[in-house]
Amino acid sequence: MPKFEKEDGIYRTGGLSEKQFQQVFKIIQKEQAKARRGAKRTLTPEQLRRKSKAAIAQLGEKSKGVPFTVEDLKQFAANRENFKKRYDSKTDGITYAQIIDGSRDIDIKRANNKVDDGSGITSANLSGMRNNEILIRVRASMKSKHDDHLVKLRLEEWNDLLHEPPGGSYEKAVKKACKGRISIACDCGRHQYWYRYLATMGRYAVSPPTEFAFPKIRNPELKGVACKHVLKAAVMLQSPAWQRIIANQMAKQAKRVSFGDDRMNSHVLTDAELKQAAKNRSTLIDKSKTEKAAKRDFKRYEKAQKAFAKKVKQDEAFTKKIRAMANRSRKAEQRAIKLESQLQSKKDLVKAMYSMMKDVYSMQGKKASDVVDDMASKFKVTTAKIKAMLK
């Protein structure tokens, strides 16, 4: 790997090509990992669990002359549990609307460059892709000692949409993926010391690295979701200018015979693509719009839940009828069991239920594969059999 210029311990990335830019950040990540191994006074999961005086003594002070206490650790643990309830840690990624809706106002103002202290940022552009991971080069603020930051956004619904693009359109598939569940990462200090722990706990972190050290000084209340660089990248990811480029890569991946995570699915943007991506006009975050979208999605979710509950109730009533018939005689019981088995094996019934459950699960941020698993459990058959009936 080539050597890159350093100034006061900081790599100068201004003027580098996209390939060089990505190479230098591989070096930066290795250096950050090495430095982290020697970190002191971090609040580890073991210390947070035990809450012993010895563990507290190792943490140093929360402010000058003020030590941490057992009560502090109890509150940290409570904050952690509250955060886990807000975000589904069983499913990878959180939606674009959740990223914007859950972020601090100051981070959004900085992403929109609506501050007057030099901490605002003005530009970002696509740099490349690695499978379903989007690499974005974000220009650092005037206040920063860095030239650029690297943001990684992983589209968690990519694989499902690659196999089943809406209406056969990869552009529609990418548009849906960009609004759907996303995992995030940024090399900046704000992400490292404020938000990477949250992303790890909420299972929306692009790793490595994962973060298990509680942010006891910077963000003990576990507020917010993303830094200004991630926010800028996420809103620009909603633009057709970027989505067309990404859709081209999805189409190419769909045709390749390599493994899904093969390096052949990596791509550095060409000069022509960089010019096309630079036409992106989706640069400002409007939190009110995402709040409306979140409420609208929740109403749809509630409606789908009611419809699903009604269907389940109908199924239960029908099952009761069958069981009542079965009680009349052994022969009737055999016919009823056969009838129930036949109903379960019919493709149209399975497909209808799959379609309904998929909509509900999608709003909960779950995968299509979760629907198949739950249906298989419900019908007491293998997932392979469910998949065969869905073809």
**Arithmetic mean of pLDDT over the chain:** 81
Q: Is the pLDDT of residue 292 over 90?
A: no
Identify the top-confidence range among 67-81, 177-191, 201-215: 177-191
Q: Is the pLDDT of residue 151 over 90?
A: yes
Residue 78: per-residue pLDDT: 72
pLDDT band at 66 (very low <50, low <70, confident <90, very high): low
Residue 375: per-residue pLDDT: 81
Residue 391: per-residue pLDDT: 78
- Given a contact cutoff of 8 angstroms between Cβ atoms, the answer to whether 234 and 195 are in contact is no
User: Which residues neighbour 264 within 8 Å (Cβ) at sequence distance 6 or greater?
Assistant: 256, 258
Residue 367: per-residue pLDDT: 79
* Calpha distance 266→129 (Å, rounded): 5
Tens-digit pLDDT profile for residues 3-35: 788 888 889 999 899 999 999 998 988 888 888
- Given a contact cutoff of 8 angstroms between Cβ atoms, the answer to whether 217 and 126 are in contact is no
pLDDT band at 185 (very low <50, low <70, confident <90, very high): very high
Residue 33: per-residue pLDDT: 82
Residue 197: per-residue pLDDT: 87
Whole-structure pTM value:
0.70
The label of the residue with tokens 């943490």 reads: 59
Tens-digit pLDDT profile for residues 355-366: 777 766 776 677
Residue 301: per-residue pLDDT: 47
Residue 169: both structure tokens together: 């359109």
Identify the top-confidence range among 113-127, 207-221, 260-274, 301-315: 113-127
Specify the DSSP element, H or E, that contains 351.
helix 347-363
Q: Is the pLDDT of residue 296 over 90?
A: no
Residue 222: per-residue pLDDT: 86
Residue 340: both structure tokens together: 């129930």
Residue 383: both structure tokens together: 């997932």
Please compute the mean of the pLDDT values over residues 72-91 and round it to a whole number. Answer: 71
The angle, 0 to 180 degrees and rounded to 10, between the axes of the packed helices 287-328 and 347-363 is 150
Lowest mean pLDDT among 163-177, 214-228, 263-277, 350-364: 350-364
* Calpha distance 98→295 (Å, rounded): 11
Please compute the mean of the pLDDT values over residues 355-382 and round it to a whole number. Answer: 77
Q: Is the pLDDT of residue 340 over 70?
A: no
pLDDT band at 89 (very low <50, low <70, confident <90, very high): low
Tens-digit pLDDT profile for residues 254-278: 988 666 566 677 899 999 999 999 9
Domain boundaries, the chain: 6-39+87-282, 289-390
pLDDT band at 39 (very low <50, low <70, confident <90, very high): low
